[in-house]
Amino acid sequence: MPPPAIDIRSASLHYGERVLFRDLDARFPAGSWSCLLGRSGSGKSSLLRMIAGLSLPDNHRLERITDDGLPLGPRLAWMAQQDLLVPWLRVRDNVMLAARWKRRVTAADRERAQSLLARVGLAQQSHAWPATLSGGQRQRVALARTLFLDASVVLMDEPFSAVDAITRLDLHELASELLAGRTVIMVTHDPQEALRLADHLLILKGEPARLHPLAPPSGVRPRALDCADLHRHQAALVTELTMPESTPIGANATRLAGGAPADEGNRHAR
């Protein structure tokens, strides 16, 4: 079944009296990788949870529509910032967690789990306990568990933020290859990560927040770090993220250039 495009309509989230966002509309195109960026507290993770249909403590509303009109739930996979491996099951059982939790495990499940472990480079660790793996290996197992579902929609909430920078770059390559052809929505606060992986960039900012689309760099995923276009975009993206929506560009520029810190330095010198 081809992956669906997902439309969200009139998404609203209230945190007590505070309105994080109201009446947001967005489209996440079929079979492509959308990155949702924003600073912490912007409500980007909450928005992703809303799309996934997961529980939230706060007052929220969202209409989600797929372009083929079929329900989203059964073909959705979820990947979080923590690897969420369960410590009481061995690595291979963690990969086929959905099967283990929902029904009786079959020989075909075991075979599939094993071949997915091979694809993420952990065939040897199949019988290890998760506690013996490194952070990067654990996140690879989480990726294999996500692939086990063979879902056409994958929602990821900062999936690579808990691992070190080098491991993260490896995981980008792996995820980009293995998740190709699916509708991916990834929340991240790392501009470089977004620029490497995104087909579509959306920035959530302002109060109440709005979604600002931004053109991704040219080239195919995962874009190389030395890609000149990526660096140009990174500067633009960081500016976009740090600049509050309501502040005029001029005022913001002065603040960034920072007359005040220089004065302070002088005072210390004296």
Partner 1 sequence: MHADAGISRRWRWPWRPFAALLVLLMLWQAVIILTGVPRYILPAPLAVGHALLDQRELLMHHAWVTAIEILAGFTGGVALGGLTALSLARFRPLRRTLLPLLLVSQAIPLFALAPILMLWLGYGMLPKILMAVLIVYFPVASTGYDGLRQTPQGWLDLADTFGLNRRRRLLKVQLPAALPSFASGVRMAATAAPIGAVIGEWVGSSRGLGFLMLNANARLQVDVMFAALIVLVAFALLLYFGVDALLRRAMPWHRDRIGAAE
Per-residue string for binding with partner 1, 127-156, x by CB under 8 A? xxxxxx----------------x-------
Contact 145, 112 (CB under 8 A): no
Which of these ranges, 35-43, 84-92, 110-118, 246-254, lies near partner 1 under the rule CB under 8 A?
84-92
Which of 6, 37, 80, 198 binds partner 1 (CB under 8 A)? It is: 80
Name the burial class of residue 164, with classes exposed (0-12), middle (13-18) and buried (19+) by CB atoms within 10 angstroms of its CB: exposed
Which contiguous run of DSSP H or E holds residue 76? Answer: strand 76-79
Answer yes or no whether residue 104 interacts with partner 1 by CB under 8 A.
no
Residue in the structure block whose two tokens are 């993260």: 168
* Minimum CB distance to partner 1, residue 193 (Å): 21
Closer to partner 1 at the Cβ: 21 or 148? 148
Nearest CA to 229 out of 215, 211, 242 is that of 215
**Who's near 262: CB < 8 A, 6+ residues apart?**
none
* Minimum CB distance to partner 1, residue 239 (Å): 34
Contact 153, 3 (CB under 8 A): yes
Closer to partner 1 at the Cβ: 87 or 261? 87
Through-space distance between the first and last CA atoms of the chain, rounded to whole angstroms:
71
User: What is the binding site for partner 1 (CB under 8 A)?
Assistant: 49, 52-55, 73-74, 76-78, 80, 82, 84, 86-90, 97-98, 100-102, 125, 127-132, 149
